[in-house]
Structure 1
Amino acid sequence: MIEIGVDFGGTKIEAAALAPDGAFLSRVRAPNPGSYDAAIRAVRELVEEAEGQAGGQGTVGVGAPGSVSPRTGLIRNANSTYLNGRRFREDLETALGRPIRLANDANCLALSEAVDGAAAGAASTFAVIIGTGCGGGLVVNGLVVDGANGIAGEWGHISLPWPKPDEVPGPSCWCGQCGCLETWISGTGLQHDFARVSGRELKGAEIVAAAKSGDADAAAAFERYVDRLGRALAMVVNLVDPEAFVFGGGVSNAEDLYARLPAAISPYVFGDAWTATLAPAKWGDSSGVRGAARLWRAGQKVS
Structure 2
Amino acid sequence: MILWGIDLGGTKIEGVILASDTKEVLFRERVATEGDQGYDHVLNQVANLIEILKSKSGLIPEKIGMGTPGSTDPETGLLKNCNAVHLNGKPLKKDLEDRLQIPFTLANDANCFALAETHMGIVQDLAPDAKVVFGVIMGSGVGGGLVVNGQIINGAHGIGGEWGHNFLDESGGPCYCGKTGCTETVIAGPHLERFYDERSGHKKGLRQIMADRATDPIAQATYDRLIHFYGKGISTIINMIDPDVIVIGGGVGNIDELYTEGLESVKKHVFNTSCQTKILKPKLGDSAGVFGAAYL
TM-score, normalised to structure 2, is 0.92
2:182 partner amino acid = C
CA distance in 1, matches of 2:266, 2:140: 23
2:187 paired residue among 177, 185, 188: 185
- Does residue 37 in structure 1 map to residue 45 in structure 2? no
Alpha carbons 1:17, 1:51 under 8 Å: kept: no
CA deviation string 1:119-169 (max 9, x = no partner):
232111111101111101000111111112222111111111xx4xxxx25
* 1:108-127 paired onto structure 2 within 5 Å: 108-120=112-124, 121=128, 122-127=130-135
Residue 99 of structure 1: how far off its partner (Å): 0.7
1:45 partner amino acid = N
- Does residue 152 in structure 1 map to residue 153 in structure 2? no
CA deviation string 1:255-289 (max 9, x = no partner):
22212221010111111221111112111111111
TM-score, normalised to structure 1, is 0.90
In the other structure, the counterpart of 2:15 is 15
Residue 97 of structure 1: how far off its partner (Å): 2.3
CA deviation string 1:75-130 (max 9, x = no partner):
11212111111101111112322111101111111111111211232111111101
In the other structure, the counterpart of 1:265 is 266
User: Which segment is superposed worse, 112-121 or 215-224?
Assistant: 215-224
CA distance in 1, matches of 2:211, 2:2: 41
In the other structure, the counterpart of 1:207 is 209
In the other structure, the counterpart of 2:72 is 68
CA distance 1:52–1:216, change in 2 (3 Å): farther
CA distance 1:93–1:224, change in 2 (3 Å): same
Q: Could you list the runs of 5+ residues in structure 1 that have no partner in the other structure? A: 296-303
1:79 partner amino acid = N
Residue 214 of structure 1: how far off its partner (Å): 4.8
In the other structure, the counterpart of 1:195 is 197
Residue 215 of structure 1: how far off its partner (Å): 4.1
CA distance in 2, matches of 1:171, 1:254: 24
Report sequence identity in percent: 41
In the other structure, the counterpart of 1:245 is 246
1:7 partner amino acid = D
Local SS of the residue matching 1:275: coil
In the other structure, the counterpart of 2:60 is 57
Alpha carbons 1:25, 1:53 under 8 Å: kept: no
CA distance 1:282–1:229, change in 2 (3 Å): same
Alpha carbons 2:231, 2:268 under 8 Å: kept: no
RMSD: 1.7
CA distance in 2, matches of 1:97, 1:208: 50
Q: Could you list the runs of 5+ residues in structure 2 that have no partner in the other structure? A: none
In the other structure, the counterpart of 1:288 is 289
1:171 paired residue among 170, 173, 177: 173
- Does residue 140 in structure 1 map to residue 148 in structure 2? yes
Local SS of the residue matching 1:91: helix
1:105 partner amino acid = D
CA distance in 2, matches of 1:226, 1:6: 35
Local SS of the residue matching 1:278: strand
CA distance 1:218–1:60, change in 2 (3 Å): same
Alpha carbons 1:2, 1:56 under 8 Å: kept: no
- Does residue 106 in structure 1 map to residue 110 in structure 2? yes
CA distance in 1, matches of 2:176, 2:163: 15
CA distance in 2, matches of 1:55, 1:193: 53
Residue 175 of structure 1: how far off its partner (Å): 0.8
Alpha carbons 1:159, 1:181 under 8 Å: kept: yes
CA distance in 1, matches of 2:48, 2:161: 31
Alpha carbons 1:41, 1:95 under 8 Å: kept: no
In the other structure, the counterpart of 1:231 is 232
The total of aligned residue pairs comes to: 288
Could you list the runs of 4 or more consecutive aligned residues of structure 1 that deviate by over 6 angstroms after TM superposition? none
Local SS of the residue matching 2:15: strand
Local SS of the residue matching 1:202: coil
